[in-house]
Amino acid sequence: MTKSVVFGGGCFWCTEAVFAMLKGVSKVEPGYAGGSVENPSYEKVSGGDTGHAEVIRVTYDPAVISYEDLLTVFFGSHDPTTPNRQGADTGEQYRSIILYETDEEKKAAEKMIKEVDTSLKDGTRVVTQLIPLGKFFPAEEYHQEYFKKNPSATYCQLVIEPKIEKVRKRFAELLKQ
């Protein structure tokens, strides 16, 4: 039996590529969530006034990879201390966000946020938004598997590839063979 979880950690091209590498993950779908506009488009979300974030819906097998492991990779693969920003990507659509569906997911995320906060020694704090999942809106087709389809694109080479390498080194035991 599979489960799904929705995370936003900046550009969904980056987060999709990271989570697609994990064992137990069968599907990663970029989309939009966390806002109030029905049927948002990339152009509307990029405008910054829909309230939506660029997110991914991760479908996974909890017998192979735990929700806690997914949270660990989530927090370890982006900067959860920068409000409305990841690297050069700025705006509320790039905020760090976890959209939970159950009380167990909420509690596990709260626990992980507390652990990450405690580990920070530079005075920063986790700003990851933790809210119930309302509705997930899949992104347009050209955003699906973007890194896989466009590995030589400049953004993929300069931003996504270094992030993937970092995840490969840091979370080798969680990667697909």
Q: Active-site residue numbers? A: 11
User: What distance in Å separates the CA atoms of residue 96 and residue 74, rounded to the nearest whole number?
Assistant: 9
Contact by Cβ (8 Å): 62, 23? no
Count of C-beta atoms within a 10 Å radius of residue 98: 28
Q: Could you give the CA distance from residue 61 to residue 108 in angstroms, rounded to a whole number?
A: 17
H or E segment to which residue 8 belongs: strand 3-9
